[in-house]
Structure 1
Amino acid sequence: MTMDRFSFSLRPRVARWLALAALGTQLVACSVFSSGNTPEPKPLAPIEAQFPVSEVWQRDIGGLGDIQLTPLVRDQSVTLATASGTVVSLHPATGEELWRASLDERLVAGVGGDGRTFAVISAQNEVLALRDGQVQWRYALPGRAFTAPLVAGERVFVVSADRSVYALDAENGALIWDRPGPVDEALALQHSLLLTAVRNTLVVGMSGRMVGINPDSGAIRWEAPIAIPRGVNDIERLVDLVGHFSRAGDSVCAQAFQAAIGCVDADRGLTVWTQRLGGSAGVHGDADAVFSVDATGRLQGWDRRDGRQLWLSDSLQYRKLSGPLLVGRVVMVGDADGLVHLFDRTDAAPLNRLQTNGSGIRLAPVFASNTVIVITNNGKVYGYRPD
Structure 2
Amino acid sequence: MTLIRANLVNLSPVASRLTRLALSAAVVAVLAACGSSKPSPAALESLTPTVRVATQWSHRIGSVEGQQILAARNGQVTAASSDGDIVSFDIASGKERWRAKAGADLTAAVGSDGRYAAVVTQANELLAFDQGKQVWREKLPGRVITAPLVAGERVFIQSVDRSVRAYDVLDGRWLWQYQRPGGEPLALANAGVITAFRDTLLVGQGPRLVGLDPLKGTVRFDVNVGTPRGTNEVERLADLVGPLARVDDEACVRTFQLNVACLELNRGSLRWSRPQAGRMAVAADERIVVGADGADRLTAWKAENGDLLWRVDRFTYRSLSAPAVWGNRVVVGDGKDYLHVLAADDGRTVGRIELDAPLVAAPVVDGDTLLVLTRKGTLYALRAN
Taking structure 1 as the reference length, the TM-score comes to 0.90
**Offset at 1:368?**
2.1
**Offset at 1:150?**
1.2
The residue type paired with residue 375 of structure 1 is L
Give per-residue Cα distances to partners, 1:31-67, cap 9 Å, x unaligned: 555784211122212111111222222211111023x
- CA 1:258–1:93: 2 relative to 1, 3 Å: same
- CA 1:366–1:34: 2 relative to 1, 3 Å: farther
- CA 1:302–1:63: 2 relative to 1, 3 Å: same
Task: For 2:304 and 2:222, locate their aligned partners in 1 and report how far apart those are by CA, in whole Å.
Answer: 20
Counterpart for residue 234 of structure 2? 235
Counterpart for residue 265 of structure 2? 266
Give per-residue Cα distances to partners, 1:302-325, cap 9 Å, x unaligned: 111211111111100100000001
**Offset at 1:90?**
1.6
Counterpart for residue 137 of structure 2? 138
What residue ranges of structure 2 are gaps of 5+ in the alignment?
A: 1-10
Task: For 1:172 and 1:256, locate their aligned partners in 2 and report how far apart those are by CA, in whole Å.
Answer: 35
Give the SS at the match of 2:243: coil
The residue type paired with residue 44 of structure 1 is L
The residue type paired with residue 115 of structure 1 is G
Give per-residue Cα distances to partners, 1:140-199, cap 9 Å, x unaligned: 221111111111111111111111111111111111111124444222222111111112
- CA 1:28–1:267: 2 relative to 1, 3 Å: farther
2:163 aligned with 1:168, yes or no?
no
Give per-residue Cα distances to partners, 1:184-234, cap 9 Å, x unaligned: 422222211111111211111110011111112111111111111222222
Give the SS at the match of 1:98: strand
2:127 aligned with 1:92, yes or no?
no
Alignment of 1:8-27 (within 5 A): 18-19=12-13
Task: For 2:310 and 2:180, locate their aligned partners in 1 and report how far apart those are by CA, in whole Å.
Answer: 37
Counterpart for residue 293 of structure 1? 292
User: Contact between 1:335 and 1:362, CA under 8 Å: does it hold in 2?
Assistant: no
User: Contact between 2:339 and 2:352, CA under 8 Å: does it hold in 1?
Assistant: yes
Alignment of 1:30-69 (within 5 A): 31-33=31-33, 36-66=36-66, 68-69=67-68
Out of 368, 371, 375, the residue aligned to residue 370 of structure 1 is 368
User: Contact between 2:211 and 2:222, CA under 8 Å: does it hold in 1?
Assistant: yes
- CA 1:82–1:330: 2 relative to 1, 3 Å: same
Q: Bigger CA drift: 122-131 or 335-344?
A: 122-131
**Offset at 1:27?**
5.5
2:154 aligned with 1:155, yes or no?
yes
User: Contact between 2:295 and 2:317, CA under 8 Å: does it hold in 1?
Assistant: yes
Task: For 1:94 and 1:30, locate their aligned partners in 2 and report how far apart those are by CA, in whole Å.
Answer: 48
User: Contact between 1:75 and 1:368, CA under 8 Å: does it hold in 2?
Assistant: no
Task: For 1:353 and 1:33, locate their aligned partners in 2 and report how far apart those are by CA, in whole Å.
Answer: 29
**Offset at 1:334?**
0.3
Alignment of 1:310-349 (within 5 A): 310-349=309-348
Counterpart for residue 5 of structure 2? none
Task: For 1:140 and 1:194, locate their aligned partners in 2 and report how far apart those are by CA, in whole Å.
Answer: 22
Task: For 1:127 and 1:302, locate their aligned partners in 2 and report how far apart those are by CA, in whole Å.
Answer: 38
The residue type paired with residue 295 of structure 1 is G
Alignment of 1:70-109 (within 5 A): 70-109=69-108
The residue type paired with residue 85 of structure 2 is T
Count of matched residue pairs: 368
User: Contact between 2:108 and 2:120, CA under 8 Å: does it hold in 1?
Assistant: yes
- CA 1:144–1:34: 2 relative to 1, 3 Å: farther
Counterpart for residue 8 of structure 1? none
Give the SS at the match of 2:379: strand
Task: For 1:120 and 1:18, locate their aligned partners in 2 and report how far apart those are by CA, in whole Å.
Answer: 26
Task: For 2:336 and 2:150, locate their aligned partners in 1 and report how far apart those are by CA, in whole Å.
Answer: 34
Counterpart for residue 218 of structure 1? 217
Task: For 1:82 and 1:181, locate their aligned partners in 2 and report how far apart those are by CA, in whole Å.
Answer: 32
CA-based RMSD: 2.2
- CA 1:308–1:354: 2 relative to 1, 3 Å: same
Aligned-residue sequence identity (percent) comes to: 37
The residue type paired with residue 40 of structure 1 is S
Task: For 1:156 and 1:259, locate their aligned partners in 2 and report how far apart those are by CA, in whole Å.
Answer: 30
Structure 1 stretches of 4+ with a deviation exceeding 6 A read 20-24
The residue type paired with residue 114 of structure 1 is D
Q: Bigger CA drift: 253-262 or 182-191?
A: 182-191
Counterpart for residue 377 of structure 2? 379
Give per-residue Cα distances to partners, 1:60-109, cap 9 Å, x unaligned: 1111023x311101242110112111111122223222211122111111
Task: For 1:184 and 1:79, locate their aligned partners in 2 and report how far apart those are by CA, in whole Å.
Answer: 33
The residue type paired with residue 57 of structure 1 is W
Task: For 2:70 and 2:12, locate their aligned partners in 1 and report how far apart those are by CA, in whole Å.
Answer: 29
The residue type paired with residue 314 of structure 1 is D
Counterpart for residue 277 of structure 1? 276
User: Contact between 1:162 and 1:181, CA under 8 Å: does it hold in 2?
Assistant: no
Task: For 2:222 and 2:265, locate their aligned partners in 1 and report how far apart those are by CA, in whole Å.
Answer: 10
Task: For 1:325 and 1:144, locate their aligned partners in 2 and report how far apart those are by CA, in whole Å.
Answer: 29
User: Contact between 2:69 and 2:362, CA under 8 Å: does it hold in 1?
Assistant: no
User: Contact between 1:337 and 1:361, CA under 8 Å: does it hold in 2?
Assistant: no
